[in-house]
C-alpha cells in the first residue's frame, strides 16, 4: 500500500517544522528563557490541587487565565482567545479566514508551514536591506493579491529587529475596513486582517500595538508566554475585537489548553516580580553579548529587540558545527539567510561559555 498516494499533495510536499532535541551542555537554539518563571512553592500548591481533579476536563474558556491576561494587557476578557501556544492560534486564524496569507521573509516559519498545511496560498515579500518591511512592494502586492491575513512578527524572528511602527501602521491603514465606500456593504477590495505577532515584545523598547486595537478593527495582536519563561506550558493569546474572537473561537478545539497549564500560568501571572527581574537580566545580557560579538573579527551581529541575536559569520556552518562539538547549540539559519546563525540569550554563565568558545573557533 502506498501511503504517499493517500496524503494530500500540499502535505506531501510539506517539510515539518525543524524542532529536534540535540543533546548539548548549553542550549541557545530555541529562543527560550533560561529561567523558569514560576515560584516553586506556589505552583506546587496549585498543581497539587489540580492533580486531584484531573478526572475532569479543563475549563474550556480558561476563565481565570483570560481574566488575568485581560488585566495585564488592559483589554477585556472578551478580547482574548487562548491557544496551546501562539502556533495554535496562527493555525486557527488561517483556518478561519483562509488565504492568501502574506508575510515578509525571512520571518517565523510557521506562517508558511501552516498556510501550506491548510492548502492556502502564501505571498512572501522580501524584507529590505535593513530587515524592515518593504512598504512599496507590500502595498503593491496587497492590491494585487488581496490577502485575507498579513503576519508581521515585530520584533521579527529570526532577524531580531522591530519593524518601523510607521510602516506597520501604513499597512494596517491601507487594508483597514474603514476604507469601505459609503453605502457599499461589501468589504473594500484591499481589506485584510493584519496580525502583529508580539512574541518578543517584552524584550523591546518599541510600543506594543495593543492600544490601537480600538482604532483599527482589522488589527490582531498575538502574544505568548513561551519567551518569558513558560514555554513548557504552551500558552499563547490572540487579542482582537470581539467579532474576530468569536469567529476564530468557532474553530478552537474545546479543551485546547490543559488544566495544569492554566493553573500554573495563573500562579505565574499573579507574581510577576520574578518574571520582570529575569527579563531585565536577559536584556542586559543581550547588550553584553552584542558588544562582545562586535569585537570578534569575522562576526557581524545584528542589533536585536528580542531575546536572541542574529549574526553573520564566514563559513557559518562550520562555526555552528564546531560550537555544537563543544556542547554549545545555537540555530543554523544558513538555509534562510546566507551565512547567518542565531544565538538565544542565556544565563550570564551560558553566554560566557558561548562567547569563549566562539572566540576560540574564529
Give the nearest distance from C-beta 295 to ligand PMP in angstroms: 28
User: Judged by CB under 6 A, which of 43, 46, 50, 86 binds ligand PMP?
Assistant: 86
> Mind spelling out the 3-state secondary structure of the chain?
CCHHHHCCHHHHCCCCCCCCCCCCCEECCCCCCCCCCCCHHHHHHHHHHHHCCCCCCCCCCCHHHHHHHHHHHCCCHHHEEEECCHHHHHHHHHHHHCCCEEEEECCCCHHHHHHHHCCCCEEEEECCCCCCCCHHHHHHHHHHHCCCEEEEECCCCCCCCCCCHHHHHHHHHHCCHHHCCCCCCCCCCCCCEEEEECCCHHHCCCCCCHHHCCCCCCEEEEEECHHHCCHHHCCEEEECCHHHHHHHHCCCCCCCCCHHHHHHHHHHHHCHHHHHHHHHHHHHHHHHHHHHHHHCCCEEECCCCCCEEEEEECCHHHHHHHHHHCCEECEECCCCCCCEEEEECCCHHHHHHHHHHHHHHC
Residue with smaller CB distance to ligand PMP, 197 or 292: 197
User: Judged by CB under 6 A, which of 87, 120, 285, 350 binds ligand PMP?
Assistant: 87
The answer to the question of residue 224 lying near ligand PMP (CB under 6 A) is: yes
Give the nearest distance from C-beta 11 to ligand PMP in angstroms: 20
Region of 9-17, 82-90, 136-144, 238-246 interacting with ligand PMP (CB under 6 A): 82-90
Region of 14-22, 34-42, 84-92, 181-189 interacting with ligand PMP (CB under 6 A): 84-92
Region of 16-24, 209-217, 224-232, 339-347 interacting with ligand PMP (CB under 6 A): 224-232
Nearest residue relative to ligand PMP (C-beta)? 85
Residue with smaller CB distance to ligand PMP, 34 or 236: 236
Region of 10-18, 85-93, 263-271, 341-349 interacting with ligand PMP (CB under 6 A): 85-93
Region of 67-75, 79-87, 113-121, 250-258 interacting with ligand PMP (CB under 6 A): 79-87
Residue with smaller CB distance to ligand PMP, 31 or 204: 31
User: Judged by CB under 6 A, which of 104, 160, 229, 236 binds ligand PMP?
Assistant: 236
The number of CA neighbours under 13 Å toward the Cβ of 310 is: 23
Give the nearest distance from C-beta 226 to ligand PMP in angstroms: 3
User: Judged by CB under 6 A, which of 26, 27, 29, 31 binds ligand PMP?
Assistant: 31
Q: Which residues contact 346 (CB under 8 A, 6 or more apart)?
A: 26, 27, 28, 34, 285, 354
The answer to the question of residue 199 lying near ligand PMP (CB under 6 A) is: yes
Name residues contacting ligand PMP, limited to 93-112 (CB under 6 A).
Answer: 108
Closest CA to 18 of 338, 341, 332: 332
Binding mask 128-157 for ligand PMP (x = CB under 6 A): -------------------------x---x
The answer to the question of residue 278 lying near ligand PMP (CB under 6 A) is: no
User: Judged by CB under 6 A, which of 34, 58, 85, 112 binds ligand PMP?
Assistant: 85
Interface residues toward ligand PMP, by CB under 6 A: 31, 85-87, 108, 153, 157, 197, 199, 224, 226, 231, 236
Amino acid at each position: 500500500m502506498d501511503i504517499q498516494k493517500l496524503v494530500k499533495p500540499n502535505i506531501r510536499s510539506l517539510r515539518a517544522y525543524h524542532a529536534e532535541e540535540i543533546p548539548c551542555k548549553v542550549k541557545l537554539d530555541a529562543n527560550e528563557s533560561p529561567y523558569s518563571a514560576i515560584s516553586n512553592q506556589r505552583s506546587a500548591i496549585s498543581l497539587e490541587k489540580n492533580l486531584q481533579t484531573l478526572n475532569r476536563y479543563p475549563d474550556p474558556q480558561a476563565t481565570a487565565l483570560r481574566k488575568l491576561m485581560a488585566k495585564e494587557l488592559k483589554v477585556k476578557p472578551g478580547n482574548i482567545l487562548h491557544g496551546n501556544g501562539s502556533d495554535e492560534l496562527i493555525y486557527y486564524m488561517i483556518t478561519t479566514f483562509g488565504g492568501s496569507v502574506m508575510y515578509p521573509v525571512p520571518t517565523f516559519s510557521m506562517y508558511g508551514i501552516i498556510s501550506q498545511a491548510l492548502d492556502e496560498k502564501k505571498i512572501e515579500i522580501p524584507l529590505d536591506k535593513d530587515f524592515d518591511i518593504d512598504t512599496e512592494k507590500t502595498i503593491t502586492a496587497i492590491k494585487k493579491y488581496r490577502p485575507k491575513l498579513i503576519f508581521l512578527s515585530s520584533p521579527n524572528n529570526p532577524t531580531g529587529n522591530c519593524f518601523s511602527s510607521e510602516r506597520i501602521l501604513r499597512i494596517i491603514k491601507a487594508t483597514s475596513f474603514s476604507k469601505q465606500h459609503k453605502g457599499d456593504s461589501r468589504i473594500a477590495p484591499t481589506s485584510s486582517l493584519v496580525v502583529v505577532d508580539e512574541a518578543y515584545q517584552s524584550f523591546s523598547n518599541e510600543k506594543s500595538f495593543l492600544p490601537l486595537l480600538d482604532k483599527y478593527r482589522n488589527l490582531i495582536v498575538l502574544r505568548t508566554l513561551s519567551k518569558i519563561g513558560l514555554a513548557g506550558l504552551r500558552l499563547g493569546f490572540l487579542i482582537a475585537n470581539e467579532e474576530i474572537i468569536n469567529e476564530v473561537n468557532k474553530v478552537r478545539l474545546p479543551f485546547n489548553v490543559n488544566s495544569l497549564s492554566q493553573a500554573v500560568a495563573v500562579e505565574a501571572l499573579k507574581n510577576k516580580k520574578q518574571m520582570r527581574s529575569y527579563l531585565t537580566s536577559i536584556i542586559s545580557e543581550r547588550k553584553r553579548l552584542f558588544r562582545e560579538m562586535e569585537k570578534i573579527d569575522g562576526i557581524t551581529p545584528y542589533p536585536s529587540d528580542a531575546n536572541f541575536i542574529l549574526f553573520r559569520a564566514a563559513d557559518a556552518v562550520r562555526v555552528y558545527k564546531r560550537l555544537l562539538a563543544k556542547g554549545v547549540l545555537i540555530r543554523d539559519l544558513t538555509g534562510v539567510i546566507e551565512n547567518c546563525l542565531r544565538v538565544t540569550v542565556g544565563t550570564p554563565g551560558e553566554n560566557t561559555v558561548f562567547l569563549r568558545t566562539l572566540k576560540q573557533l574564529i
